Each structure stands twice: as structure tokens, then as C-alpha cells.
Structure 1
Amino acid sequence: MIRSILSLYPAPERVADVLEVYRDADILQFSLDQSRAVASEISVAVDGSGEIVVTALWPDPAAYQEWLDHPRRRNERLVAILAGVEVGSARLFEVDHSVSA
């Protein structure tokens, strides 16, 4: 299992706009429906910095690459909000083990 972690660094006053696009366009659900992703979530730093992380679980690196190559992955509204904003490259991590309640 692979976890992708994408970091976004919008200005703190733009965080709500980014989250609104993710909700309105149902980006997380779209990624699950259109790929082999197992789970996905978006989180906001509690320190007020504006940092956002988008994480997802994938069965393997190839599944994540298929999502990157998906022709409808790009959201123009999100691109406009993040124009000029630092967007980190997604990093992939191999999940060693996990537990849940």
C-alpha cells in the first residue's frame, strides 16, 4: 500500500477557497471514482499557517501514476486559486502497517 502526500501552501486567507473547490467539485470522491485509490482526505494545519495536505492511499505506485495521468484530474478553478502559490510535489510513502478503531 502506498500513501501520497501533497502539500499546498496558499495564503491563510485562501484556505477556505481551496477547501470550497475541493467540496464543490467533489475532488476527493472523483479521485476515488476515477482511479484505484482506496481512501483520500484533505487536512488543514491547525497552526493557522494555511498549509493544506491532501493524502490518499493507493494499492501501488502505478495506481497513483494512473491518477496523475488522468485527463480530467486538473481543476481550473483550483489552478486559478493556487496561481503563484507554492505547491509541493506529492511524495509517496510505503505503508508499513496500520491500525484503526
Structure 2
Amino acid sequence: MKISVLTLRPVPGMAGELLAFYRHHAILEASGALDSHILTSEDSQTLVVTAAWPDIAAYTAWQQSPRRAELAAGMARFFSSPDAVHSQLFDVAHTVSGRP
């Protein structure tokens, strides 16, 4: 399993609008990931999007999707530079789940 972590640092004051964009366009649902989350920092200035993928092929399919490219173009207005978006891919090394 692969986990992608996308860190987004929108223009100050636009994090709420970026979150609304994700919700309105159902981006997490469109990705095809097994599980995904959007986390917001305590200061509400950074969003972190995590997604679990069954394999690299599923992640690559989303990365190359025309829908993803369309959504990324629509999100460009939220960022002042390419450095405001950072993505990493991780292998799952240990998991604990099912705890109350």
C-alpha cells in the first residue's frame, strides 16, 4: 500500500476557500483512493491531504488523470508560487487500526 501526502500552503486567508473547493468538486471522492483525509493546521493556514492507494498503479492513474489536471488548474488561484504545494509518496511500514 502507498500513502500520498500533499501539503498545501494557500495564499493567506484562502485556506477555507481551498477546502470548500475540494468539497464542492468532490476531489477526494474522484481520486479513487481507498481512504483519504484533509487535515487543517491549528492556525488554519496549511492543509494536508492524505490518501491511501492499493498500489503505485492506482496512484499513477490519478496523477495522470485528465480530471486531476482540470482540478489542479482550477486550484492555481489559491497559490502564490509552486513551492506552496509539496507532494510525497510513502510505503506503509506498520499499521494499527480498529481501536476505539
TM-score by length of 2: 0.84
Q: Which 4+ stretches in 1 moved above 3 angstroms?
A: none
* C-alpha distance after superposition, 1:3-50 (max 9, x if no partner): 000111113411101000001111111112xxxx2111111111x161
State how far apart, in whole Å, the 1-side matches of 2:59 and 2:5 are: 11
Deviations along 1:43-82, one digit per CA (max 9) or x if unpaired, are: 1111x16111111001122221111001111314322222
Question: Counting helix residues as a fraction of each chain, which structure ranks higher?
Answer: 2
Structure 2 alignment gaps of length 5 or more: none
Alignment of 1:39 onto 2:35: yes
In the aligned structure 1, how far is the partner of 2:27 from the partner of 2:93? 27
Kept in 2, the 8 Å contact 1:12–1:49? The answer is no
Is 1:91 the equivalent of 2:92?
no
Q: TM-score, length-normalised on structure 1?
A: 0.83
RMSD, aligned CA? 1.6
Q: CA deviation at 1:97?
A: 2.0
Percent sequence identity over aligned pairs? 39
On the 8 A contact 1:9/1:50 being kept in 2, the answer is yes
